[in-house]
Amino acid sequence: MKKYLLLAIIAIYIGLIIPCKVYAADITVGATTWYAEYKEASDFLDPTFMFGPVASVKFNDDFNLTFVYLYGQFKDKFVSGAKMKRQDSDLALNYRLNNYFKLFGGIKYMNCKSSSPGNPTYKSYSYGPALGVSFTYPFIENIFFLATLSGSYVWWSRSFDDSDWNDYGYNGTAALAYYISQASTTISLGYRYQRFINTDDSSLKTTFSGFTLTATYSFSI
């Protein structure tokens, strides 16, 4: 059922994109970093920098496809050599409502690997659909306020005990962006908050939050 739902989302993407006769496309590529603080029922990991690429393809005035990937390694505060490697990625199709708002829907994927000296590596991964809205407001020339708010539902699987569980979550970002027109480059500084809650036990929560810095370059083909 989960795989069928994801395939349906991908089919919708293709069905929306193919009719768009793309004679030119605006491409944006760059890099982002997130100084993320990790919290759950037991707070045992130090904050760390997650980093990775970002990309966007604008097909026409209404639709664009965005992708964000982040990777980081969290170290245990109390156990020497213990760590958690985490991947966090989002693929979304955006639809422009007006000059300020966009709606988006997509797929979220996360992957965790926890290890400590003398113990096996514990692996878990999740994926699921996400929906949200983004907001852009121009303050003055070349300076913008950016914000997103989204919700998601993900299915987790863990390798070492073959357990499965579900989370629902929400993600919010707010940032100020400066566009350097001479270099076709945008620099943004902001804050991101992401929380996931177990559907069977709401006391089981996982939170990642912290400041973000992103730089992107735009061009047309």
**Residue 193 pLDDT more than 70?**
yes
* pLDDT higher than 60, residue 140: yes
pLDDT of residue 161: 72
CA distance 131 to 49: 26
Q: Check residue 179 and give its pLDDT.
A: 95
Cα gap 140→132, rounded to integer Å: 26
134: number of Cβ within 10 Å: 20
User: 183 or 39: whose pLDDT is higher?
Assistant: 183
Higher pLDDT, residue 194 or 161: 194
Report the candidate in 101, 105, 97 with the shortest Cα–Cα distance to residue 11: 105
Tell me the pLDDT tens digit for each residue of 92-119.
999 999 999 999 999 999 999 988 888 8
Amino acid at 51: F
pLDDT tens track for 5-22: 555 555 555 455 545 544
Percent of the chain with pLDDT over 70: 88
Q: Is the alpha carbon torsion for 139, 135, 213, 77 positive or negative?
A: positive
For residue 10, give the H/E element and its range.
Answer: helix 2-17
Amino acid at residue number 55: A
Name the residue type at position 15: G
Please check whether residue 153 is in contact with residue 162, taking contact to mean a CB–CB distance below 8 angstroms: no
**Is 152 or 118 the better-scoring residue by pLDDT?**
152
52 Rama sector, left if φ>0, alpha if ψ -120 to 50, beta otherwise: left
Q: pLDDT for 58-81, tens place per residue?
A: 988 899 999 999 999 999 888 888
Of the CA atoms within 13 Å of residue 197, those in its CB half-sphere come to 9
Q: Identify the structural domains of the chain with CATH numbers, from first to last.
A: 2-220 (2.40.128.100)
Q: List, in order, residues 6 or more apart from 86 with CB less than 8 Å away.
A: 50, 71, 72, 73, 74, 110, 111, 112, 113
> What residue type is assigned to position 81 of the chain?
G
Give this prediction's pTM: 0.87
Give the mean model confidence (pLDDT) for residues 134-160.
Answer: 92
Reported as a single tens digit per residue, the pLDDT across 44-62 is: 788 999 999 999 999 888 9
